[in-house]
A and B are shown apart, each in its own frame.
Chain A
Amino acid sequence: MISENFKEVFTAEIISVTGALVAGSLLVFQVDKLLLLPGLFILIPGFLEMRGSITGSLAARLGEKLHIGLERSERHKLIIENILAAFTLALVVAVVLGIFAYIVSYFLFGVTLLSLIYIPILGSVISNLIAVPLTIFATFWFYKHKIDPDNVMGPFATTTGDIIGVASLLLAIIIVI
């Protein structure tokens, strides 16, 4: 006797945590850098939080507008302005997170590396280049196939957000360090 509510909660959660597990596994590839630069541990949870918030709310906004119904010209404007907003938000938050990690790292470990500011900035650009188009495409795809984006885009955004977020940060670490 498994209730519908249980099935919904359990399925969404299992998909979401599996994505986070993949993200955690990706971290193993850069343990040497993590050991050298412990400030990255300060950066990662905040960065993933930012990634989830930006793509999650982007999907929610698009889903809401699709339900209301949009003209073709309105749709174009909506997408362009949402993309610009996602990039602006990610860049501003990445700078704030970088400065925060830099300051805390200095007080906690006595390490002053400007890389801690450059890494989230570069990581946010890389992750946005992948996550934003993917989120927009998935929202429209689900809607077109009669699947309510409101029900699926939450776990989709957090799962892809975690994987893309960690992969982008690791790529940024490789480029910067």
Chain B
Amino acid sequence: MKIYHKIIKESLKIVILTSILGSIGGVAAATIHEKLILFLPLLIIMPAINNMIGSFGTIISSRFTTMLFTGKIGKDWSNSIEFIELYKNIVVSAFIITVYLVIAANVLGHLYGFDFDLFVMLKILLMAIMSVSLLVILMLFTSVIGGLMIFKKGEDPDNFLIPVNTALGDLGSLIIFTTLIIVLF
């Protein structure tokens, strides 16, 4: 049972920690549960926004770390072609996917009986774009500052950036999204 014990020893703490962080984000959602149920597209889109931001966190962290290790990025990171390409790829992908999600959530919501309302859809689009932009910029900023600091110390930035950006994505998306729902709905 060597493999079993190794997996439990190495994974248990981190899986508990990330799951609890996810549920802390869920606490924010629970406080506005009536609005989520009233506006079905919001309920449908929430797991997808959370999923997307978490995935971008992992992509940003691992790509930035690879750039550091391969010497494609350094102190003058803002002039690095690779970094600019990463930034553009993430921003363009995030924008297109967010628009896709909002339209799909509204179509699905309508199929489940929610009366389509263009104004509601535009508000959801605004909320989704604001949440995604804010968190993507925050994660890029964390990657640059944190990544460069950790790399300078001779450690692997992946070990720091992936958990930090995942937590930022999981917690941040639900908290920001919830705040915007309170403000806009």
Tell whether, in the assembled complex, residue B29 and residue A20 are in contact, meaning their CB atoms are under 8 Å apart.
Answer: no
Tell whether, in the assembled complex, residue A43 and residue B31 are in contact, meaning their CB atoms are under 8 Å apart.
Answer: no
Q: Which of A25-62 contact B (CB under 8 A)?
A: 25, 27-28, 31, 34-35, 38-39, 41-50, 53-54, 57, 61
Tell whether, in the assembled complex, residue B52 and residue A20 are in contact, meaning their CB atoms are under 8 Å apart.
Answer: yes
For B166, give the chain A residue with the smallest CB separation: A49
Tell whether, in the assembled complex, residue A45 and residue B8 are in contact, meaning their CB atoms are under 8 Å apart.
Answer: no
A118 at interface by CB-CB < 8 Å: no
Tell whether, in the assembled complex, residue A3 and residue B26 are in contact, meaning their CB atoms are under 8 Å apart.
Answer: no
Tell whether, in the assembled complex, residue A48 and residue B22 are in contact, meaning their CB atoms are under 8 Å apart.
Answer: yes
Tell whether, in the assembled complex, residue B27 and residue A108 are in contact, meaning their CB atoms are under 8 Å apart.
Answer: yes
Tell whether, in the assembled complex, residue A25 and residue B23 are in contact, meaning their CB atoms are under 8 Å apart.
Answer: no
Tell whether, in the assembled complex, residue A43 and residue B47 are in contact, meaning their CB atoms are under 8 Å apart.
Answer: no
Identify the B interface with A (CB < 8 A): 1-4, 7-8, 11-12, 14-16, 18-23, 25-27, 29-31, 33-34, 36-37, 40, 43-48, 50-52, 55-56, 58-59, 85-86, 89-90, 92-93, 96-97, 100-101, 104-105, 108-109, 112, 170, 174
5 A-B contacts, Cβ less than 8 Å apart?
A13-B97, A21-B48, A24-B44, A28-B109, A28-B112
Q: Which of A87-108 contact B (CB under 8 A)?
A: 88-89, 92-93, 96-97, 100-101, 104-105, 108
The winner among A43, A78, A85, A96 for most chain B CB atoms within 10 A is A85
A139 at interface by CB-CB < 8 Å: no
Main secondary structure of the interface of B (DSSP, over half): helix
Which single member of B7, B51, B52, B170 contacts A85 (CB below 8 Å)? B7
Beyond A3-B85, A21-B105, A53-B15, 15 additional contacts (C-beta under 8 Å) are A9-B93, A16-B55, A17-B52, A17-B101, A20-B51, A20-B52, A24-B105, A28-B108, A42-B26, A42-B27, A53-B18, A77-B3, A81-B4, A82-B3, A162-B47
Q: How distant is the Cα of A57 from the Cα of B162 in the complex, in angstroms?
A: 14
Identify the A interface with B (CB < 8 A): 3, 5-6, 9-10, 12-14, 16-21, 23-25, 27-28, 31, 34-35, 38-39, 41-50, 53-54, 57, 61, 77-78, 81-82, 84-85, 88-89, 92-93, 96-97, 100-101, 104-105, 108-109, 154-155, 158, 162, 166
Min CB distance A112 to B, Å, is 15
Q: How distant is the Cα of A38 from the Cα of B45 in the complex, in angstroms?
A: 18
Tell whether, in the assembled complex, residue A6 and residue B48 are in contact, meaning their CB atoms are under 8 Å apart.
Answer: no
The winner among B8, B11, B58, B100 for most chain A CB atoms within 10 A is B11
Residues of A within 8 A of B59 (CB): 9
Tell whether, in the assembled complex, residue A17 and residue B97 are in contact, meaning their CB atoms are under 8 Å apart.
Answer: yes
Tell whether, in the assembled complex, residue B15 and residue A41 are in contact, meaning their CB atoms are under 8 Å apart.
Answer: no
Tell whether, in the assembled complex, residue B27 and residue A104 are in contact, meaning their CB atoms are under 8 Å apart.
Answer: yes
Beyond A61-B7, A166-B47, is A101–B19 a contact (Cβ under 8 Å)?
no
Tell whether, in the assembled complex, residue A47 and residue B19 are in contact, meaning their CB atoms are under 8 Å apart.
Answer: yes
Tell whether, in the assembled complex, residue A3 and residue B89 are in contact, meaning their CB atoms are under 8 Å apart.
Answer: yes
Residues of A within 8 A of B51 (CB): 16-17, 19-20, 48, 158, 162
